[in-house]
Structure 1
Amino acid sequence: MNNDIRCLPTEDTRINCSPLLDKKINTNFWKSLHIIWESFVKKLLADPNELQVWQKVDRYGNIYWQAYDPATGKSFSSGSQADVCMWIEQLYRY
């Protein structure tokens, strides 16, 4: 008597991609979590009175620069990095 158990192939011949998809989702989750953590730490350790300059992208894909000086409450936005540099120089020129 042979007790060899065998599974019959199913009629559905599609490839099961869920392990690959799960791995990709898992990787994206950890990358996103890492970015959020880095942003949190930067905000936590940042000097609240320090001049802030950052680059942004609008919904059309245009890149622009923003600057904010918490000491004066003034802000500036431009599509040119050179313009932001000039604004900073004028802001601190006496």
Structure 2
Amino acid sequence: MAARKPMPVFSDVPACQPTPKAGFWQHAIQPIFIGIAQLWCQLFARNTEPKVWETHDRDGHPIWHVYDPITGYAATVHSEQEVMAWIEERYYYHRGLI
């Protein structure tokens, strides 16, 4: 049986050595590609779910904010019942039932 060669150490492999162009790639070109990839994801993997969040006024009363990313509609309501009514109306609107 033939003896196996030892595994090369990464520093011995020429492809793993840093090159002078690596700095240019990392500092000039790579950020451009990352920006394009992020823009691509934002445009084509856009979340269409409604956004609902709660804040409180100075007196501690809840204020509900609703946002529809499909239409850009945003509103402020003062009760959970109004939020639920908005969600139901949005659901039926986007399905063409209203």
Shorter-chain TM-score bucket reads: 0.3 to 0.5
TM normalised by structure 2 equals 0.43
TM-score after normalising by structure 1: 0.45
